[in-house]
Amino acid sequence: MKIAARFYIAAILAFLYLPILVMMAMGFNESPLYELPFSFSTRWYQALAGNAPLVNSGINSIWIAVATSIIATVLGTMASVALSRRTFRGKTLLQLMLLPPIAIPWLITGTAMLVFFFYSGIGRGLHALLIGHVALAIPYVVLVVGTGFQTVRADLEEAAMSLGSTPVHAFFSITLPLLYPSILGAALFAFAVSLDQFVISYFLATPGFSTLPVQIYSAIRKGFTPEINAISTILLVGSMAVIVIFALFAKPGGVSDKR
């Protein structure tokens, strides 16, 4: 059974990571048609430096993802505080309404946003794109931070207030530091959701402004080149570096190993 279980896990990992490794390797292959034998070359990274549309779309995706991560994390954390520590009419319904945006296909969500923004006067453009990304990311933030709240004892704030602390000071000095791992994890989640978003970006962006997923889609329609492998590898390595740093310095649940 142990051998079968290990083989099963290894097969899953291979299924997930082998295509990524092949994609990264082919970015260093001399052939534009992925021909073998493999011939190491950095020509596609050099070509990427001169591909302004692809580079600009990558930069657009990164800064939109950063902005989405910051805004969604702030708003989602505030919502999590209200849902976790306050009782009000409609709370259960509001918690339930956070789940459909995650389950509804993004194609339907994108179409609905396009129609709503058109008739409400918001229109298309960078502002609409940012609103759409934030709206999609907030439910993930609320769920992740809300899970973190379940590991934080509410009586710690009550003990601080019994010693003379104000509710605001008790929250920022006690609860918030314990929530840092959950908040950082939620921010990374929001960043990943925005960076990977294609449908919303495709529907709400205006001509002349493109994100990386949309630009890759357009490039594939004209003919796939290993420059796409190059920029995908750069973003992948950067994202993995951020995740590794988070894993090294953040303690899940806000629990420290120090005594």
| pLDDT (0 to 100) of residue 249 | 65
Residue 254: pLDDT band by 50, 70, 90 thresholds? very low
Of all residues in the chain, what percent carry a pLDDT higher than 90? 7
Kindly state the percentage of the chain with pLDDT values over 70: 95
DSSP at 86: -
- Give CA separation, 118 vs 19, 105, 115, 214, in Å: 39, 20, 5, 21
How is 32-56 classified by DSSP, letter by letter?
TT--SS--B--HHHHHHHT-HHHHH
For residue 56, give both structure tokens: 């600009």
Distance CA 228, CA 206 (A): 22
Burial (CB count within 10 angstroms: exposed 0-12, middle 13-18, buried 19+), residue 34: middle
Q: What is the pLDDT of residues 146-161, one digit of tens each?
A: 888 888 777 777 787 7
Distance CA 200, CA 209 (A): 13
Residue found by looking up tokens 């520590």 in the block: 85
Q: What is the pLDDT of residue 152?
A: 78
Rounded to two decimals, what is the model's pTM?
0.80
pLDDT for the residue 250: 61
Q: What is the mean pLDDT of the chain?
A: 82
Q: Is 252 a residue whose pLDDT tops 80? A: no
CATH number of 52-254: 1.10.3720.10
| The two three-digit tokens of residue 5, written as one number | 């279980």
Judged by DSSP in three states, 89 sits in: coil
pLDDT digits (tens, 9 = 90+) for 88-107: 787 788 878 877 778 888 88
Q: How far apart are CA 169 and CA 182, in angstroms?
A: 20
Q: Which residue has the higher pLDDT, 211 or 259?
A: 211
pLDDT at 127 exceeding the cut of 50: yes
Is pLDDT at 73 greater than 90 in this prediction?
yes
In the predicted structure, residue 68 carries a pLDDT above the cut 90? yes
Q: Which of 115-124, 222-231, 242-251 tops mean pLDDT? A: 115-124
Query: What ranges do the domains of the chain cover?
Result: 1-41, 52-254
